[in-house]
């Protein structure tokens, strides 16, 4: 069982690399946004599209701290994981990690997301079903770590 709230294995593709043959750093942000989308798709029946598209709840990043520790190259198998570091009323902070198959952390980040109305662009409380899903996932992870 994973010690992370959400984790997926992934191969680094050519389209994610720069002329030096390593991941072009902004591509990590795309990879982790995709991971968050997959996570919310599993948390809620209407998924990420339902939150943004149907309900018009935005989830913009308001803070991002990143450490690049080692390179990732085309063809590398990596593990992308996220953890819930803080769950507030209108925001949450996630920890991201990209780890190579060799166990070496390639990059790590902390992201703070605020929930907003896409109509007014004002911050709003995290929707109750999303909050419940996040809490459930974090609690399941905590139980797995304790075992």
Q: Rounded CA gap, 116 and 59, in Å? A: 6
Q: Rounded CA gap, 28 and 96, in Å? A: 10
Which residues, listed in sequence order, are joined to residue 113 by a DSSP beta bridge? 61, 92
Using one digit for the tens of pLDDT, what is the confidence trace for 15-50? 999 999 999 999 999 999 999 999 999 999 999 999
- pLDDT at position 140, please? 86
Q: How far apart, in Å, are the Cα atoms of 136 and each of 17, 42, 122?
A: 36, 12, 27
Structural domain that includes position 68:
6-146
- pLDDT at position 1, please? 45
Q: Does a structural domain hold residue 105?
A: yes
Q: Does a structural domain hold residue 1?
A: no
Specify the number of domains making up the chain: 1
Grouped pLDDT means (10 residues each) for the chain, 147 residues: 85 96 96 97 96 97 98 97 96 97 98 98 97 93 57
- pLDDT at position 146, please? 46
- Residue 111 belongs to a domain with what CATH number? 3.10.129.10
């Amino acid at each position: 069982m994973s010690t992370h709230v959400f984790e997926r294995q992934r191969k680094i593709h050519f389209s994610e690399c720069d002329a030096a043959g390593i991941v072009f750093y902004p591509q990590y942000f795309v990879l982790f946004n995709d991971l968050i989308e997959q996570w919310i798709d599993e948390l809620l029946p209407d998924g990420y599209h339902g939150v943004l598209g149907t309900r018009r709840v935005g989830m913009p990043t308001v803070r991002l701290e990143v450490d690049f520790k080692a390179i990732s190259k085309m063809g590398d198998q990596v593990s992308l994981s996220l953890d819930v570091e803080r769950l507030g009323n209108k925001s949450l902070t996630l920890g991201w990690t990209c780890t190579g198959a060799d166990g070496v952390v390639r990059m790590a980040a902390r992201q703070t997301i605020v929930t907003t109305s896409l109509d007014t662009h004002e911050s709003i409380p995290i929707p109750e079903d999303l909050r419940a899903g996040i809490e459930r996932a974090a609690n399941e992870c905590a139980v797995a770590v304790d075992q």
